[in-house]
Structure formats: C-alpha cells, structure tokens
Amino acid sequence: MSGGKTKAAGTQPQDSLAQDFVQFAVDCGVLRFGEFKTKAGRMSPYFFNAGLFDDGAKLGRLAGFYAQRLLQSGIEFDMIFGPAYKGIPLGAALAVELARLGRNVPFAYNRKEAKDHGEGGTLVGAPLKGRVLIVDDVMSAGTAARESIALIRAAGAVPHGVVIALDRQEKATENGQDVDHSAVQYVRGQLGLQVCAIAKLSDLLQYLEQHSQEGLAADHQRVLTYRQRYGVDEG
C-alpha cells in the first residue's frame, strides 16, 4: 500500500511461525536495521541477508521453517529446484528436511556458466520433470524467477510454485521506474505460479511493534514509513 492506506501492523492476525522466523533472523544477524541501499536504489531501513545463515545449525533450522511453511501452504510439487547461487544450499537443505519428515523428493540446481566437459550443460542433479518448486531467499524483481521458469520449461517440466524466506511486499521496479505491483504479485499474477513466504514485511512490522519497548520503536517507525512509501496494496 502507499500513502495513508497501509494497515497498522497490529490489525493483522499474528502468524506465530513468521514471528519465530523473524526472531531467528534477528538473532542470527541475518535481519538488521539501519540504512541500506537496495538494488532498486532505495534507502531501506532493514536488510535481509540469507547468506548469513552460515553454519549447519542455522541452515538446518532455516530448512525447518521452509518445510513448515511449505506444508502449511498446500502447494503440490514433484521436485525442488534451487537457482544459483543462494537457492542451491536453500533447496538442498529443504530437500533434506522434507526427507527427514517423510517426504523424499528429487532436487536439482543450475550453474551460472555451462560446463563443457563431463555431463555438460547448466543443470545438475535430478532430471527436471513434473511440477517443480523453486526455492530462493527473497524476490526483488522476479528476474531470477523468470530465468528459473525458462530453464524448467526448456527441460520439459512445469514451473509450479516458489517458496521464499521473506516477502518484502514492496513495489518492483521496471526500467528504473516503480510499478504498482511487487515481484511476488508479478510471479503470481503474470507468470501463474503459486508463491509462499515464511514471513512478510507485515510480520516484520508486527515484530518491531511488539518489541518497541526493547529499543526498536524508532526502527518500527522507519520501516512503517518505508512501507507507506514503497509498499503494495495486497487487497
């Protein structure tokens, strides 16, 4: 939403899984508050860097969050695809966690550069077939999703869904200009894929509001102001 239409965080029903995930991300230093420049050139009051889930315990717990959200979503899929680079460990960890929970599915990923020896090509792992679930950290412009979709279709499989860690719920940019939809909305509406996220910006706002007495009141206001400027209307 933009302008004065943004709903207050407190009016949203609380999502306990999302709140636990936000706390986990803060504890790991993955989610930080301050002033950070985004790829779109915006000055964001928060920064989410999934690359800092950087040891076995963190990655294992992260996979648990992905698996819980995915199972809650009801999205059906036959295999997992992890786009290079961050999607590779995320997809692999999710595949391991799902197998631990009794759902063993094939996993594949791509290389950025084609290999010209051995088996060759850009795809590694299980053959792409059936309904494919793409796993990534965030979705900024939908570019990575479009590239993954093209690879999956070229292999004769069906890109069916995307699961991400954080939905920033903000306007995407096209040719340097803000547009009235987010990358997630674009992937859902224009590309026809189901998308689920462990947490959204609205969940982050709830977390900041609930912890305002712990020195986060100013951060809550900055994030709220940012959303009022760049947020999308999800109604």
Any idea what the Cα angle at residue 124 is, between residues 122 and 129, rounded to 5°? 100
Kindly tell me the sign of the dihedral angle through the C-alpha atoms of 145, 151, 154, 156.
negative
Half-sphere exposure of residue 219: CA atoms within 13 angstroms, side-chain side = 23
Long-range contacts of 24-32 (CB under 8 A, 24+ apart): 24/61, 24/62, 24/65, 25/165, 25/166, 25/199, 26/207, 28/52, 28/53, 28/58, 31/204
CB count, 10 Å around CB of 32? 15
Give the pair of three-digit tokens for residue 226.
């940012």
Q: Report how far residue 63's alpha carbon sits from residue 187's, in angstroms, rounded to the nearest whole number.
A: 23
Query: CB count, 10 Å around CB of 17?
Result: 14
List, by residue number, the catalytic residues: 115, 117
The candidate with the shortest Cα–Cα distance to 71, out of 97, 91, 89, 53, is 97
**Alpha carbon distance 23, 36 (integer Å):** 20
